Amino acid sequence: MTTAPSGLDDARVSAVLDEIARTAEHTDPEVMKRAYATAADWPQPPTAQEAADLCAQAALPVHPHVGTFLYQLVRSLRPALVVEFGTSFGASTLYAAAALRDNGGGRIIGSELHPGKADRARGHLERAGLGGYAEIRTGEAREQLATLPGPVDLVLLDGWKELYLPVLEVLEPALRAGSLVVSDNLPMLPPEFTDHVRTAGNGYLSQQLPLGDGIEFSLRLQNPA
């Protein structure tokens, strides 16, 4: 019996994902080196906006293993609404949107602070034939994600790490029992975030998964009273 291909096998989707990966391989190391060198001379750590400006040319895509995991989650959950913090060039958005298309419906709403990156992500989605399944909102995530069209089934946190907890707290009223939160770049996560999702009484069951450089994988059990 022949196995049906997944949406990740679509030539347009794979071509755009490969292009983003090549950009990350050839451009990101120098961009990040320059960004760290610039910020090292500042008296205070960069703000989220300053970091976004410093890293404007860096693709910073999710690891392919994390992207495939997102695709699998979306196919299995069949979510009506996925929310993403930190779209960058749109690699993770592409994985999720490909799964939504294969499911026959659903939407991902992403947020990206840097306008240039948001534009590139939209362009990548259109070229991959997935623009109809995604909306990229430009601006500060806590503002952009405060109003959503319905309950959130799946959250991906992959932006400025110090904002993981504030963004999650904005989203929590929209989470339902059974919603999932995938938080990328585990070694960089602030302790207040991991404490929040791992502490009994905050309404989560959470554990680490060894995908990419590590993710925190959290199940929303209920909204605490």
SS3 sequence of 141-172? HHHHCCCCCCCEEEEEECCCHHHHHHHHHHHH
At residue 67 the predicted structure's pLDDT band, cuts being 50, 70 and 90, is very high
Single-letter residue type at 39: A
Q: Does the pLDDT value for residue 125 go beyond 60? A: yes
Distance of CA 11 to CAs 15, 104, 131, 219, Å?
6, 19, 15, 33
At residue 129 the predicted structure's pLDDT band, cuts being 50, 70 and 90, is very high
Residue 206, pLDDT score: 98
The mean per-residue pLDDT over the stretch 85-102 comes to 98
The mean per-residue pLDDT over the stretch 200-216 comes to 96
* Core vs surface per residue 176-197: b (16+ CB within 10 A) or e: eeebbbbbbbbeebeeebbebb
Question: What would the two tokens of residue 102 be?
Answer: 């294969």
Distance separating alpha carbons of residues 130 and 170, to the nearest angstrom: 27
Residue 110, pLDDT score: 98
Q: Does the pLDDT value for residue 1 go beyond 60? A: no
- pTM as predicted: 0.94
Alpha-carbon Rg for the chain, nearest whole angstrom, is 17
Q: Does the pLDDT value for residue 225 go beyond 80? A: no
**Domain locations in the chain?**
64-220
pLDDT: which is higher, 35 or 97: 97
Residue 14, pLDDT score: 97
| Cβ atoms of residues 172 and 191 within 8 Å | no
Distance separating alpha carbons of residues 83 and 122, to the nearest angstrom: 15
Share of the chain above pLDDT 90, in %: 87
Distance separating alpha carbons of residues 72 and 216, to the nearest angstrom: 16
Q: Does the pLDDT value for residue 16 go beyond 60? A: yes
Residue 223, pLDDT score: 73
Q: Is 218 exposed, middle or buried (0-12, 13-18, 19+ CB in 10 A)?
A: buried
Q: Does the pLDDT value for residue 53 go beyond 60? A: yes
Distance separating alpha carbons of residues 90 and 107, to the nearest angstrom: 14
Residue 107, pLDDT score: 98
Q: What is the mean pLDDT of the chain?
A: 95
The mean per-residue pLDDT over the stretch 50-61 comes to 91
Q: Kindly give, in sequence order, each residue whose CB lies less than 8 Å from that of residue 116, ignoring residues fewer than 6 positions away.
A: 56
Q: Which CATH architecture has domain 64-220?
A: 3-Layer(aba) Sandwich (3.40)
pLDDT digits (tens, 9 = 90+) for 83-93: 999 999 999 99
Residue 48, pLDDT score: 86
